[in-house]
Structure formats: C-alpha cells, structure tokens
Amino acid sequence: MTDNANTLWIRDPAACADLDAAGGIVIQGTRIIEKVAAGAQPRQPVDEIFDASRYVLLPGLVNTHHHFYQTLTRAYSPALNKELFPWLTTLYEVWANLDEEQLALASELAMVELLMSGCTTVADHHYVFSGALLGAIDCQVETAQRLGVRAALTRGSMSVGQDDGGLPSQSVVQDERTILDDSQRLIERYHQRGDGAMTTIALAPCSPFSVSRELMLESARLAESHDVRLHTHLAETEDETAYCQRLFGMRPLDYLEDCGWLTNRTWLAHGIHFNDGEIKRLGHAGTGIAHCPSSNMVLGSGMCRTLELEAAGAPIGLAVDGSASNDHSNLANEMRQALLLGRLRYSPSQVTHEDVIRWATQGSARCLGRNDIGGLEPGQQADLALFKLDEPRFSGAENSLAALLLCGAQRADRVMVAGRWRITDGLPCEIDLSRLMARHDEAARRLRNAL
C-alpha cells in the first residue's frame, strides 16, 4: 500500500458481520484502514464512496480444502451411492487420465465458482500426478494469478499404490524423491510470505492409506525447514481408523503425531472420528480442522465435533471439499450446511449463524496460518464479499445477516480481493463464463470417454 493510493468508503451496509463496522469500512490500496461506526463519518477524507445500503458486508470467505480437478467428475454415475473407500477406488481409474488442459479448466471453473460465492481465498489439495500432470501446481498458480484470487495451494502426493496395499492405482503414485524434490521446487518458486501474500504453498501427502511413513516424516521435516504448512486428510471414516490400526498398530492421530505432524503448522481435512482425549491433544497443539459438512453428508462419513474441537483450542475452518463429493464449489452454501448440520448434532442455541460466519472467515484464516485475512480490522487485507438480499428467498427476512444462511444465499453480488473488484453484479470480471463452462463441460466428457 502507498500513502497516495485512493481511498474507498464502503458506506453504511444494510448489515455487517462486524458490529463495529456498521457504518462501513475505508480501504486504501490493498488494505482496510478504518472501521466506521454506525451513523459516523470516516476520520479522513475519502476519494470514492460505494453505497452499500442494499448489501450485507462480510469479510471475504476463506476456503480451507478442495480438489479442483474433481469438478470434472461431478455426479458421476459409477461412483454414486458409495462410501469413501469404494468411491475413491472407482474414481481413481478416471482421474488417472487427467491432463494439464483438463486440470487448468477444472481449476479455473472451481476458483470462479468459489469467487462467485463470496470466497476470496481458495485452497486446493491436488495429489493426482500422472505422467501428463507433472506441472499441475504450476498450472494452478498461473490460473490463480490470472484470476486475481488469493490461493493456498498444496503439493499433494500419493506414493503407495494398489501393488503395495494402498488404494490408488499405480499410474498416479510417485516415488518419495520425486515428490520431495518437486515440493522444494514449488516452495522456492512460488511461496510468498508476510501480509498480503497472494500465493502460498503447503505440503500435503494425501492420507495415511496412500503415502508411506517415510514421506510423512520427510514432508514434516521439509515443511519445518522452509517454514510452510502441512495438510492431509485425517479421521474421515471408521475404515481409515481400522486401516491405521491394522497397518501401523495405532489410531490415525497417534500415527500423525508419531510422524511429527501434531503441531500448529498442520491443518486437517474432515477430522470426524476423534475421541475426547484426541480432541484435547489437537487443541493443545493448535492443529486446525477443515470442516467439510456437505462432503461428510454425501459420503456418509459422520459429523465433525466442531464445538468440542474449537473449545479445546483447535481452529475450525470451513471447506467445500472436492466437487465429486459435494458436488459444488459454493462456500456460501457450505455455511448453511454447517449451520444445519451443527444444529442437528448440538442445538440451535449452541451453533449460531455468527459462529458459522466466524468459522468461514477468521477460523479458516487461522487454519491457513493467516492473520491478515478473515476480518475487517484496520491493517487487514481488503478482501470482502457483498451480498444483496433481492431474491424471492430473502423476501420478508428481518435479520439480514442471519438470512444469508437461513434463507440460503448462493451468490455474492460483489467480491473484492486485495482492494480490487473481482466479482461485480454477480459475475466474474474479465471472464466469459459461458465459454468457460462450455470448455469445462467438454473437458469432462473427454475425461470420461478416456476410460
């Protein structure tokens, strides 16, 4: 940010997630510089005013777990109505044929869909590396930079295929040296540090049932030496627990700790099947949990113990998960799912709309190790989402903030990332959405026909 950058007042929103910013926020360059109280004026002159009186203002939503490539296999008939392990083995045969053109289209569509839902920071866990996908993360970095979206990209990996007792087919596994060398290359080339970072890289072996113990250990060492984060799937199903006990003689969290992963550098996808003692250990370590409500329901995996985890000290973030187990990339919709599922597990008084908005913003930011996003505080990044309540679903709503979740908001009208509008009038800037969808749909057909 420069001192002579223009200032913009997002003035008098109809409702705001931060009560101290009821009169709006002032932005200069890429940052928020002031919160304005209800009925007040900014303390300094502003260059522009955006009338937000018809909008609900939220910090930009932060997604903590996704698989962009899976947008190509939504509602795929052979994988329907299956639990996690058989669902995976069915789809690995399809994903083994991915090429970089398909991945680029899948990534672009997923990022655009997330942006349209009010998400300003996207995260992806890409772990399928066939011979045609050696530059997968490079491709995603280029796409994120072109779209102007903030991205937490993880170098996923699978090193144990079916020949060695793992789930994935041999065509999508790599040896440990190749994985680690490429991980280091990506960190050195793309990982940005400090406030305002647009692209970050994390290391993300897929799961205990698809990578070796050696890869888990070496990934933890590499992450510590380069000060980057760690991510993996853990405790998603009871099948996984049984697998770890059979193969390693211990439960998934014990295995994770034994590999040096139980730290505040780590965030985990799903985190459903933890007992009371494990929840305390996770909280003590500060290990984050990417809560994936829709995916957990679609695959029948179970319900995450969000309240106990958060009370213990584990950051809770929200995630859409892959678009073959959700099957969308809409984080606004995921907030509603988190609210409803939370109330089913607990009670309406224990899981409020404010709680869920906090998970989707501040909690998600903490999972990614960020304190410069996820809020509307002065000094934080100017990442925000503005929602109109002008659809029939909102008619008659008295509490505008609660209406976003209870009435089921699906699309933000305006989205700003680092001080620049990326969504206006509900549509992505500088993107031909119809053409993107047509190309993406053709890529999906081509992938299915490759079998």
**Cα(46)–Cα(26) distance, integer angstroms:** 8
Checking phi first, is residue 243 left (phi over 0); if not, alpha (psi -120 to 50) or beta?
alpha
Asked whether the predicted pLDDT for residue 418 surpasses 80, the reply is yes
Contact at 8 Å (CB) between 425 and 400?
no
Taking residues 231-239, report their average pLDDT.
96
Which structure tokens are listed for 362?
A: 């501040």
Kindly indicate the confidence band of residue 1, based on its pLDDT and cuts at 50, 70 and 90.
very low
Contact at 8 Å (CB) between 68 and 58?
no
pLDDT tens figures, 419-450: 999 999 999 999 999 999 999 999 999 999 99
Taking residues 380-394, report their average pLDDT.
97
Q: Which DSSP symbol is given to 381?
A: B
Asked whether the predicted pLDDT for residue 124 surpasses 60, the reply is yes
DSSP H or E run through 222:
helix 213-226
pLDDT tens figures, 67-119: 999 999 999 999 999 998 899 989 988 999 999 999 999 999 999 999 999 99
pLDDT tens figures, 2-57: 456 899 999 999 999 999 999 999 999 999 999 999 999 999 999 999 999 999 99
* pLDDT at residue number 165: 80
DSSP H or E run through 316:
strand 316-318
- HSE-CB of 427 using CA atoms within 13 angstroms: 8
Percent of the chain with pLDDT over 70: 99
Taking residues 148-156, report their average pLDDT.
98
Asked whether the predicted pLDDT for residue 401 surpasses 60, the reply is yes
Set out the domains of the chain in order of their start, with CATH numbers: 7-59+378-426 (2.30.40.10), 61-367 (3.20.20.140)
Query: Nearest to residue 386, comparing CAs of 6, 8, 2, 124?
Result: 8
**Cα(156)–Cα(248) distance, integer angstroms:** 22
Beta strands in 2-52 (DSSP E): 7-11, 15-16, 24-28, 31-36, 48-51
pLDDT tens figures, 247-271: 999 999 999 999 999 999 999 999 9
pLDDT tens figures, 347-369: 999 999 999 999 999 999 999 99
pLDDT tens figures, 272-309: 999 999 999 999 999 999 999 999 999 999 999 999 99
Asked whether the predicted pLDDT for residue 174 surpasses 70, the reply is yes
DSSP H or E run through 277:
helix 276-285
Average model confidence (pLDDT) for the chain? 96
Contact at 8 Å (CB) between 310 and 355?
no
Q: Which DSSP symbol is given to 79?
A: G
Q: How many C-beta atoms lie closer than 10 Å to residue 347's C-beta?
A: 9
Query: Nearest to residue 418, comparing CAs of 163, 144, 101?
Result: 144
Q: How would you classify the pairing of strands 384-388 and 316-318? A: unpaired
* pLDDT at residue number 318: 98
* pLDDT at residue number 3: 57
